[in-house]
A = this chain, B = another copy of it.
Amino acid sequence: VSAESTLIENLRRLATHPAARGLRDDAAVLEVGGATLVLTHDMLVEGVHFLPDDPPQDVAWKLLAVNLSDLAAKGARPLGVLLGFPLGEEAWDRDFAEGFGTALAAFDIPLLGGDTVMGPRVLGLTAIGEARGPVPARSGARPADRLWVSGAIGDGGAGLRVARGDLAAAPALLERYRTPRPRLELGEALAPLVSAMMDVSDGLLIDAKRMAAASAAAVEIALDAVPLSGAFVAALGDGQEARLQAAAAGDDYELLFAAAPDRTQELLALADRLGIALTPIGAIAPGAGLTLTDAGAPLPLPPRLGWEHG
């Protein structure tokens, strides 16, 4: 979107402090008095990021989860959040507060402050975290690194289709869409092992393309290696079309990372220890941009790689 790009370019010109990372990473990284703070602010807009009849409890969960996912991608442990909340109908707001309490308790995160206003439902959340070790950037992927992803890809997008009634009821997929679980523990454990990391929020393909751009390198993804869940395969199969849909859908909140080949054993041991699949899905190469293969043969990129909201 042209207006969006102009505004973001204008803001980038203001974001000259190194902590801002050029507004090209999942979060800002600020050193204060011996501590490394990781800061992120994400918004959810009614009618854009959630539907007016989505359960308010789930909107609250998602607002927290999308922000915590950014902290997870930087290996940071959450310290607390600030909520920006426009008041609307009393019942909706009460249900939101209930769900927000449930989500905060689930991740053991304190609510530190924020603001309530009168206005349309544009929800904002700021999450503050602390990194105890190195903070991986999006821009650190190097040729010869392997590209990995956690968990399964495509469930969030398929869950959205279930929510919209475009796909038959599938509770596991709906749950993954409505109450995603940010990979906090995994992100903290991965941070010292990876050369680049980000979360998969807008779609595997578009997020991988962003990592390629930030790292000034090429990213190759093997579509047939992209991990799918049993629930996804039961609903949509694992053919090329289904895999392309999975790879271009958003809302997965998995971690996408590049790591040197000699990290492979450590990564697989970590996957075992945490009980979370870590799957090599491609490689970093000299050059630029994203390329795709399926069963070893080149595959043109689909016209839509994911969400383009900035």
Contacts and interface: CB of A to CB of B under 8 A. Distances in A.
Nearest to A8: B116
Interface residues of A, number: 72
A120 B119 contact: yes
A30 to B, nearest CB: 6
Nearest to A32: B35
Interface stretch (A36-44, A202-210, A255-263): A36-44
A20 B90 contact: no
Given A119-B120, A122-B122, A14 B104 contact: yes
B33 A113 contact: no
B84 A41 contact: yes
Contacts of A30: 79-80, 112, 128
A41 B82 contact: yes
Contact of A40 (B14, B82, B119): B82
Interface string A1-17: 11110111011011111
A28 interface: yes
Contact of A13 (B17, B46, B101, B309): B101
Contacts of A217: none
Contact of A120 (B42, B114, B120): B120
Interface stretch (A92-100, A227-235, A293-301): A92-100
A52 to B, nearest CB: 13
B37 A32 contact: yes
B122 A20 contact: no
Interface string A54-66: 0000000000000
Contacts of A84: 41, 43, 84, 122, 124
Nearest to A112: B28
A216 interface: no
A310 interface: yes
A106 interface: no
B32 A79 contact: yes
A83 B41 contact: yes
Given A39-B112, A130-B32, A97 B14 contact: yes
A11 B34 CA distance: 31
A115 B32 contact: no
A112 to B, nearest CB: 4
Nearest to A4: B87
Interface in A11-31: 11, 13-17, 19-21, 23, 27-28, 30
Given A7-B116, A41-B82, 19 more contacts: A6-B90, A7-B87, A7-B93, A14-B101, A16-B110, A17-B112, A19-B80, A30-B112, A33-B130, A37-B128, A39-B113, A40-B82, A41-B84, A43-B119, A45-B86, A84-B84, A84-B124, A117-B309, A119-B122
